[in-house]
Structure 1
Amino acid sequence: MEVQWKKITDGQMEDIHIYREFGSKPTLKYLGRTSSPTDGFATGNVSLTLKNIQPADEGTYICSVKSRDQSADTATMLSIAGTSEVFFEILGPQGQGLELACRSHGWFPKPTVRWVTQDKQRLSPDTAIHQDSKQLFSVLSRVTVTGEQVGDITCQILNPLVQAEKKTTLRLSNHDELKTRCDALSRELEFRRARSYMVPITLDEAWNHSELAVSSDQRTVQHKPSAQSPNITKVPVVVGREAFASGHHYWEVQVWDGLDWELGVLTETVRGRLKERSWWDDLPEDGVWSLRRVKGEYWPEEADAKMQSHTVQLPVVGLHLDLEQSTLSFYNIGTSDRILEISIEGSTKLYPFLRPGLSKAGEKGKPLTINPNTDWDFPNRVLC
């Protein structure tokens, strides 16, 4: 006796699985995806199990049973349906409203999408539905809501074959609250994008002031003068080993509770002069871009005005060097907020530098530590 499973594909008969009394085997195309009961002939169960279902498996299947004396066959139709979870995204301000989106992937057949408000009012979205190489459909649907459309906003995706629905809902507040939330999300998204460019930074003891102590992992620096130390000469800074001439670069420095410190970048020219000069009252204005804290106040002044409006302390500062836009930005990690953005004039190579606060002779100053975490990765959109 022999059992043959076949499928009609585009009008052509396709062999799938052959089952005989001494064993069974699938055709090469279905290898690893089909099976039949091992005791099928003894029990009369010669059914076919099809695994890892794909949209292409949809169609008419024929089971043919043959013996030496007779044969019989039957057919059945297999329909495929796929659904998936739906995710909301807040894309940001759009005109006088807020642009929202919902995404989903893994639908079959082609789904339908609709947006509704809390009072069942339908919105008019801009919807794109695409089919991938496995014939599965992905959905990206966008809609802009205004301040009057408050309450629950729902994105519904429906599988028309099995009438299965997946949906996600976002609750919107009034216009002012909506704008406040949108602004906060936009700031966080900007910070997340900046932090996705995190790079490892280490301190170069060859460009280190003699009274600055650098840790063995070359990430922490603090002022550590001797008890017999005279008045300090040269600017007490330490320069990073890494130099940047293009692209995006982000790093973080823990400033702890130090009242005095300075963080930023300097040119290769300034770096060379740090070694050559036997003394220096302060860093030069040209070729240095930085954020500085002196006796609890921040410089430049616009950074101080920004920080005075915050109640959150500043234990860690994030620095984003964007050499595509020629800017250096400083972030308050506690609030994901940008403190300051500085325009950088053209330079072939820039080095990070740290300047800890000075301490009294024989005492240790407040340390500055570079965050060693370099595996940070953020999505490009904020998911709700």
Structure 2
Amino acid sequence: MDGSHICIFFLLCVHPTLSGKFRIFGPKIDPVVPVGKDAVLECQTEPKTALNNLEVRWFKDDFSSPVHLYTSGHDLLTAQDSAFHGRTELFNKEFSSGNASLKLKNTNAFDDGVYTCFIDFKQDYEEVKIRLYVGGMGRQPWVELEGFGQKGIRVGCRSDGWYPEPHVLWMNGDRANLTGQSVTMEKDKTTGLFTVLNQVEVTSDSVNRFSCLMQNDVLKKEEEAHFEISGVLFPETNIWMVLFSLVFILVIIVIICEIFHHRKKHRKVKGLKLFCILEGHQDHKINEVSVTLDEKTAHPKLELKNVNCMRLTECEQTRPESGDCFKDLQSVLGSNAFSAGRHYWVVEVAMNRDWSLGVVSESAERREKVELLPENKFWTIQRDGADCYSNDTTRSVLDAKPSPEKVGVYLSYESGRVSFYNVATKSHLHSFTGNKFQEKLYPFLQSGDVDKWVKVSACSALELHKEPRSRASGKRRFRKLCVGAPY
């Protein structure tokens, strides 16, 4: 072998580009992202290779259902997995330097897992796997005294909004670990986040101070609750134990009777006030809103009456032309604008079988027809015939039997929550959580049932505590609320 052949052989071995070989690399450290934040999954070719005319495919579990697909010079969104619709993008301007990284927006618990970056170089292909860790920090735990155990007082520590399942520690006043007796984990099917209940039995010591600590091993963060138990609660004689046990059993019987009486068929909420206590705002008042409809936002075929009743008609109404009105969606906004605080109002839909209601952001599209989805700045539920649905990417059928005649809408601006309740049965229908509101929000109503009225009212949040009334009496009252409205 002469010198020229040796030189060519050396170049082919040292420089992969001359032999057509390439590799792709992911990040050196697995990425970690909190729920609701954006994540970047790094994927880089080596040597740097222009990707403009190649296929770049990101997938999670199924090659044929990509998280994102770039081919033939453009993004092919029609093939995208619906769970990632509108939440992904590539760094196309950096394709010339071989950057095939993926940006994943507004992550949720279901995004946790292994992703594959696949590049088809026509004559060959390469792929690399990236493990994405998603972490959700729950609320600060709250502690409840649950009664007496065999040796001391049984205490429960509860929190929600965690992912993955948190590690729970109990400590006494000397910061020594106590052993928890039982743990209950409940996973929310909509958000994928965990609600945690951990119990421990504590005994009296010199200070009677205790702590419940919940740790997120992914985010390396923790939340802690401190509490102190008065020494008089720790029984010293059998008489006190007997008296406390009798009182405790009596309370439990009353609670069971209450649950059996009011929550026989559905899983009920404890009432909006208790819900707010769980949010940590028990000292703040709920604004029970008297919603009025904004005529200048109403679709031309909507008839408005008494500032808070509306119905869909077959003919356009005579009113001044407004650039703020809905043109394609048969909808109207409330004139109330919310940019802070917690608010509650009720929408009465007793005779209507085709409606959507909730809240909408100030900059949401009104002139063109759009889907009523959170990514389009609509947070709503819908009734279509016999069933009710959540208007999100899952479009889940809600547990709403019988169909609600009055729907309570609760907005907590700072905590990013929009919740819906069946007022008659006092049951929770659906919640949108984890939002970061930055614009004004308005009440939203839509009707597709001609000549059927919908009304908004300022019913008190305490109505969730009242006895359910008969459907017939609810309909008679609804007719009286829209005076002069033909049915």
Greater C-alpha radius of gyration = 1
TM-score normalized with structure 2 length? 0.37
TM-score normalized with structure 1 length? 0.46
Flag the structure with higher helix content: 2
Query: RCO greater where, 1 or 2, for CA within 8 Å and sep 6 or more?
Result: 1
